[in-house]
Amino acid sequence: MSAYHKPEAKVIQELKDIAHKLRIHAVEATQASKSG
The predicted-structure confidence for 1-36, as pLDDT tens digits, reads as follows 567 788 899 999 999 999 999 999 999 988 887 765
Domain extent for 11: 1-36
Give every CB contact of residue 36 below 8 A, 6+ residues apart in sequence.
27, 30
CA pair distance 2, 4, nearest whole angstrom: 6
Residue 5 pLDDT: 82
Residue 7 pLDDT: 85
What's the number of domains the chain is made of? 1
Residue 36 pLDDT: 53
Full-model pTM? 0.60
CA pair distance 2, 23, nearest whole angstrom: 34
Residue 1 pLDDT: 58
